[in-house]
Structure formats: C-alpha cells, structure tokens
Amino acid sequence: MADTILFRLEGGLAWITLNRPEARNAINDEMRRALLDALARVAGDPAIRAAVLTGAGEGFCPGADLWGGRRDAAPPAHATRALMKQNSQRLIRTVLELEKPIVAAVNGVAAGMGAHLALACDLVIMAAEARLIEVFARRGLAIDSGGAFLLSRLVGLLKAKELVLLADDLPADEALRIGLCNRVVARAGLEAAAREWGERLARGPTLALGMSKRLLQRAYESGLETCLEEEALAQTLVAQSEDTQEGVRASPSGGGPSSRDARVAYTLLGGVRVLELALLAPDLLGMHLADLGAEVVKIEQPPGGDYLREIGARKLAGLNLMHLRWNRGKKSLTLDLKRAEGQRLLHRLVATADVFIDGLRQGAAARCAADYATLRAVNPRLVYCTLSGAGASGPYAALATHGVAYDAFAGLAPPVTHADGSPRIPSYTAVGMLAAPLYAALAVCAALVQARATGTGRLLEVAELDVSATWQAEHLDAASNGVASAIPDMIPAVRYQYYGTADQRVVLLQASERKFWRNFCAAVGRPDLFEAKPGEPAGDHARGDEALRAELAAIFRTRTRAEWVELFIAHDVPGGPVYTADELVDDPHFRARELLFEQDHPVAGHVRLFGTPVKVDGERFAATPAPAPGAHTAEVLGGTLGLSAAEIERLRAEGVV
C-alpha cells in the first residue's frame, strides 16, 4: 500500500488511515489511487468484514488537493478541475457502493470532499474538536463529489442550502444534532469508539449487513413499491446465505458467525464495473471478467435480447447451455440504443463504468452512439475493448463471420471430403471463438491497471481471425524464416505414444527423455529394454522401432488404465489416461479439481456447469445464474442512476427498456 494510505488488519476489521498530515490529509492523485486500492481490498478480501476510515495527525481531510498544498497558488486549469471532479465522484461512489460496512472516525477538520467522504460512510463518529465544513463556495467552486446528493438527503433541502451557501464551520455537537454524525467522543477516545463499532460490525453477517445497507440507500432514492420489491429479493438471498444459516444455529450470545474459511465467489476484480454490448461468442469476455469478480452489466436490445439463448441443439428447458455458461454472473439491462433516450441512459452508465465491451460487428456500436470516441468523451478513464470477427481494419473488416470462419481462415479446420466428393466442415475444437475472449480479458486487466495509475483509459482491439492465426504461430514463424515447418507425424513414435490396456482402454506413454525411459523400464521389470536401447538424452520417440512397439504393446495389455496411471505416478514416468469427453467427468483428478459447479437457475432448474480453471486461494468459485433479458433493469437504472420506479415504468411503457 502506498505511504499516503496506511492499511492494517485487526482480525476481520480493516483500518484505513489517510496519511498526508503535512497537508492535513488533502487527497492528491497518489492518495486517491491508494485509497481506491484499499477500498478494493476491503471489497475483495472475504476475511475483511468491516472497515474504519480515519486521518493521521490533527485533521481528517480538507478535500481534494486542488492547489498542490499551496493555498496562495492560482486554481488549476478547468480541464484539470474537471478530471479531479470526476475522480472525486468515483471515490465517493466507491465508498457508497461498498457492500461491507465502513465507519468514519473523524479526528479533525473534514471539509469539502473530505466531509463528503466521511458522510458517504455508514456510521460517523466525530471527535469533539472535529468540524465539518462545506468549503466550495469559499473557493469559488460549485459543490461536487456527491455533496448535493448526500447533504440534501441527510438534513433536508433547506438545511443543505444553508450549509453549502453560507459555508460556516459545523462543530461536532451541531453535526450530531442535525444528523450528520452518529456519535461525538473526546479525541482521546475516538479510536476506541471506532474499534468498538467496527468490531461489532465485523462479527455480524456480511451478506445481511450489505443487503441492509443497500435497502436503506435505495429507500432514499426510490419509491415505496421499489423498496418493498427489493426487500423481498434481499430477504430471499439472505435467507439462503451461509451467514444466516449459521446465525440460526448460533446461540443468542454467540456473537454472530464463527470464523471459518471463506467460500465466496472470486473477488479479484471486485469494484470493477463492466458494461457489455455483445452477442454470441464475445459474451465470453464478459464471462471471464465476471468470473473474476467484476460487476458485468449486459446491455440488450428489448424485448428479447441476445438470441444466444434460443439457438443451438444443446439446451435445458429451452435455453442454450452456452448462454447458461457464457452469461453467468452478469446483470441484464434492456436498453433500446436506437433511440436517443436509450443512448443518453447508456452515457450516464458509462460515466460510472471502468470497462466497455463492444462485441458487435464493426460499425454497429457507432450507430448506437457507443463507439470509443463518443464514450471516451463521457469517461476519459474508460477501458474500451472491441472483440469482433475480423477486426477494425483490413479488407475483411466488413465480412460477416461465425465461429468456423476464424479457424478455416487459419487452416485449423481443413475440409473433409464427403462420400459425394464435396468438401464439408470437419468435427474439430473451435479455437478463435473460444480463445479470443481470453486474450481480450488479459488485455482488459492490463489496461485497467494502467488506467487506475494514470486516470486515462485505452482502446483495445481483438479479432477472432487474428487469434486463430496465432495458433499457427510456430508454422508461420518457420515459414517466414525459411525453416522447414512440417510437424513430424506422431504415428511412427513408440516411446511417446498411445497403448491399449487390459480393460480395453487407452493410456499415453511419454518417456522420451532418457531418465524417464529408465524409470519406466525399471518399473515394469524390463531393465533389458533400457540397456539395449537407452536412446538420446531428450526428445527420443524411438520412431519406427516396430520391435520395441510390439514389446510395449504386450506390456501395456497387462494392466488397466487406472493401474498404469498409478504406476506412472509412483515411478515418475510421464503419461496419463486417454479419455473421451464423456469419460472425463468421472476421472478422480477432474473431480478433485472441482471444475464443475452447481447452481439453481429459475428456468433451467438445477444445473451443473463447467466453472473456471483459475483457482484463488481462500475463495471458491461461484456465479449467479445467467439472467433473463432485462432481469436487472430496475436495479441498474434505480441503484446506479437513481431513477425512480415511476421513471423506470415510463421507460418500460415507451419501449426504451
């Protein structure tokens, strides 16, 4: 953690300290980035259940460091102030949207954005000597960083106007009287008071506290009906949680859930908001980011959305299995981007996002006012990734394509000849369609790191044709440099080959290094085979040695496939079982790796799906079910943009959502 922010853990309680006492903890770019990192750590670490935010020295925070620490300097340029304003808004939003409870321990002056930072926390404890100050009018600036939202809801419109327009200092006891803090204590007792509340929160049920936070926040932002609907949903989710089940089992004096190994969805990208405008295979990019913990909002054309749901032969309850996997963990927002109001709503969402995925054909996003140039003007820190068939340039850029086209282009799906002499598509494993989203996810994560460091986003482009061609890199490297590029046929290989077993199965031997060949011969009681033909130190497949092949074939028929795998492990011999896809799920190693996960889908019922090969220490993979079109429209527009239930219903009636 950067020196401008101090971070320490006390059990499940995180302490975050603003640490620029020489500037009364004014927030510069370095501190802002470090504070966002600290909040992301709180959000992403399942062992952290609550947090305390305080300041070092005599002050809490006088706001953003607009003057670089000098109050006699000229104000920064308009463009710089605009960027600072946007960064301040992001910081306040991050605190407001943190799902874990956070206590502000205000030890001194909290002014401007510093005051808003404290008020965005869930509980506020002030030292008796502390003050809140709305300083924007004093500095010739309009109020920002969420202050208008916070003050008007906390103290009412008239009192908020008094605080902002008169910009008087607000002592701690007056802040307590009008509802801007929860408790006032002597400065010497501030840390103890914050620890008391923080530890109580850390012992509480995380999901229930987070849902309660959200419901209270939504009560400010929406009408009664929307609030009641969300309460019902929250009760369902909380009732199914491990926290609630354990709380029911615990005694009344048990102090809440016991400490246990966390088993939650991955949190590596916790706090990252992704907007996805995609159809078919590009959905996989959003899936990979959601798997790692990002909030992914899938934007779909009303009413039916992505037709991936309906196509294909492999279905459960009428839903394509690819949809159930590729769109898991996402929220669905229906939004008609052909209409100006839909585009305006999109741009408001973009202002809150970190990543935008353009998974449509070239030019389609521009027709929806969702191209990079347009969205960059809305949010300069946005990471924008296009994932398409042929890319944005080249003679095939406008070529319509589907999955096989990428691999046919790269020579990965050579035609087979049908009985009637016509060329046909072979049975093969798709590469471009499945691998391109992985390259895109890697690029997005790298660009996010840079964007958070610099405040500037990037435009990324990944084409599925290019990715398929990447699978031919070894051949292309050789051909481009005049090197023979044909891959040797493995059929003549002997020490690196498939062999039949006693149970009519197949096993793979890979003893092409001399040391492994020696290990194998010793393990099967045939040292004479090694002594007669020790081979080269490495890379020796004993090609064409049919006498040796006959010997090995007879040896392998003496044990079952499972017994051969046990022998390989016991005697350090490379190889493994050879399976069909249907056999794979019964393999003990496959099961032990927990590559499948189970979930209850509201339409498909109880399903088992392939998860992710990524393992994260302390976390167990999970994902919410793939959503119906528009399942989260009210949540996103209400919770993120603050639209009322009546406004959302109007948009729905008019076909905008």
Q: For the segment 204-217, what is each residue's pLDDT rounded down to a tens digit?
A: 765 556 656 665 66
pLDDT digits (tens, 9 = 90+) for 544-566: 999 999 999 999 999 999 999 99
pLDDT for 317: 87
Q: Are 612 and 291 in contact (CB under 8 A)?
A: yes
- Mean pLDDT over residues 609-638, rounded? 90
| Residue that is written with structure tokens 């499972």 in the block | 562
- Looking at the chain, the whole-number percentage of residues with pLDDT higher than 90 is 54
pLDDT value, residue 86: 59
Tokens of 18: 């603003």
639 or 449, higher pLDDT: 449
Local confidence band at 248 (pLDDT 50, 70, 90 cut-offs): very low
**Is the pLDDT at 250 greater than 80, yes or no?**
no
Position 88, amino acid: S
Q: Does residue 220 register a pLDDT over 80? A: no
**Over residues 96-105, mean pLDDT:** 91
pLDDT tens for each residue of 109-144: 998 889 999 999 999 999 999 999 886 655 566 676
Cα 389 from Cα 75, distance rounded (Å) = 48
Rounded-to-integer distance, Cα 578 and Cα 581, Å:
10
- Residue 153 has a pLDDT of 75
Q: Would the pTM count as exceeding 0.85? A: no
CA proximity to 202, closest of 15, 41, 56: 15
**Backbone dihedral region of 574: left (phi > 0), alpha (psi from -120 to 50 degrees) or beta?**
beta
Q: Closest Cα partner for 94 from 385, 353, 482, 389?
A: 353
> What confidence category does residue 316 fall into, taking pLDDT thresholds of 50, 70 and 90?
confident
What's the pLDDT tens digit per position in 173-193? Answer: 999 998 899 999 998 999 999
368-388 pLDDT, tens digit each:
999 999 999 999 999 999 999
Beta bridge partners of 338: none
3-state secondary structure of 521: helix
- pLDDT(223) > 50: no
The more confidently predicted of residues 213 and 273 is: 273
**Closest alpha carbon to 66 in 29, 103, 102:** 29
Does 84 or 602 have the greater pLDDT score? 602
Give the H/E segment covering residue 119: helix 113-119
CA distance 514 to 626: 51
- Confidence class of residue 52 from pLDDT cuts 50, 70 and 90? very high
- How many C-beta atoms lie closer than 10 Å to residue 122's C-beta? 22
Q: Which residues of 275-298 are buried (b: 16+ CB within 10 A; e: fewer)?
A: bbbbbbbbbbbbbbbbbbbbbbbb
Element (H, E) at 331: strand 330-334
3-class DSSP state for residue 198? helix
Long-range contacts of the stretch 613-617 (C-beta < 8 A, 24+): 614/266, 614/291, 614/292, 616/266, 616/267, 616/268
DSSP letter (8 states) at residue 21: G
Split at pLDDT 50, 70, 90, the class of 301 is very high
- Asked if omega into 629 is within 30° of 0 (cis), the reply is no
Give pLDDT, residue 287. 95
Q: Residue 15: which H helix or E strand, with range?
A: strand 13-18
Average the pLDDT over each of 17-31, 129-143, 364-378, 603-617 and give the range with the smallest value.
129-143
Residue 83, pLDDT score: 45
What's the pLDDT score for residue 145?
A: 60
Give the pLDDT of residue 306: 86
What is the average pLDDT across 39-62?
Answer: 90
Residue 67 has a pLDDT of 46
Report residue 191 CA to chain centroid gap: 34
Q: Taking residues 498-518, what's their average pLDDT? A: 96
Q: Answer whether residue 442 shows pLDDT above 50.
A: yes
Among residues of the chain, what percentage have pLDDT more than 70? 85
Beta pairing, strands 596-601 & 605-610: antiparallel
Q: How many CB atoms lie within 10 A of CB 504?
A: 9
